[in-house]
Amino acid sequence: MNSILAKKLEQGQKFLENGLRIPVTKLGVQGNVVVAIKTPQKDLYSAVQLGFDKRAKPNAPKSTKSPFRFLREVRMMDAETMPTVGDVIKASEIFKPGDIINVTGISKGKGYAGGVKRYHFRGGPRTHGQSDRERAPGSIGSNTTPGRVYKGKRMAGRMGQDQVTVKNIKIVAVDDNFILVKGLVPGGKNTLLMLKKVGVDKKFVPLHSAKQNSGQAPEKIDDPKAEAASAESSGEPKEEKKEEVQNAS
């Protein structure tokens, strides 16, 4: 398999080992369960149906047959390595840091928008008495033969809420529950995404590790208060100082 389902969680930033700061998006990938298998003998093609994001109450509503919120198929090129129904697909089995993926999801809906916002039109001139044409789309060609507006003409209309694929996104960290990718992905929080592996970055730079002194012995504490606190926490009896012994005598 080269694809898996994910859920967009949050955005942030991380540092690479070379000091470069990058934007990252955290994706939740826990709970990819194989629901069904499609075989060439029965269905004329090879695929795996994945169930993702299990419902808290799978029996409500009663019309829902699947306990998962999302069901998606992943095409399989090699029918000999098919998983079995009930297997849980882990992200660490498919991806690793440095892999390049394509992310497919539904973009955020923007509502009704004009041509300047929707298609980045520059508008009309701001001089020569054209004060009302600054954000106008211009001529749409309806006065020429055949005297109609062609289908697909870029005009004002509903913007967003479309299926979008962002290509060549780099994975910077992989876990069984989460994936960190460099950059941004389509959709809002908790929206469904499809991740598909397409290559490997040969010049991959890993994330900066927070453990700078790994493998080194900890420095000795010179503070007597800190020593007493550490002795109390470990259960060892306190050592009497020489001065206190002399005063007691």
Across residues 123-130, what is the average pLDDT? 86
pLDDT of residue 221: 38
- Of the candidates 211, 214, 213, 203, the residue with the CA atom closest to the CA atom of residue 18: 203
Mean pLDDT, residues 202-206: 93
pLDDT for 56: 80
Residue 77's pLDDT is what? 77
Name the pLDDT band for 64 (thresholds 50, 70, 90).
low
Structure tokens at 139: 């001529």
Dump strand ranges (E) for the chain: 3-15, 21-28, 32-38, 47-54, 68-75, 88-89, 99-106, 111-113, 157-159, 163-174, 178-182, 192-200
More confident residue, 173 or 66: 173
Residue-level pLDDT at 141: 83
Report the pLDDT value the prediction gives residue 209, as an integer from 0 to 100.
82
What CATH topology corresponds to 1-108+162-210? Elongation Factor Tu (Ef-tu); domain 3 (2.40.30)
Query: pLDDT higher for 206 or 239?
Result: 206
Residue 27 CA from chain centroid, whole number: 3
| pLDDT tier, 236 (very low <50, low <70, confident <90, very high otherwise) | low
Q: Where are the domains of the chain?
A: 1-108+162-210, 110-138+153-159
pTM: 0.74
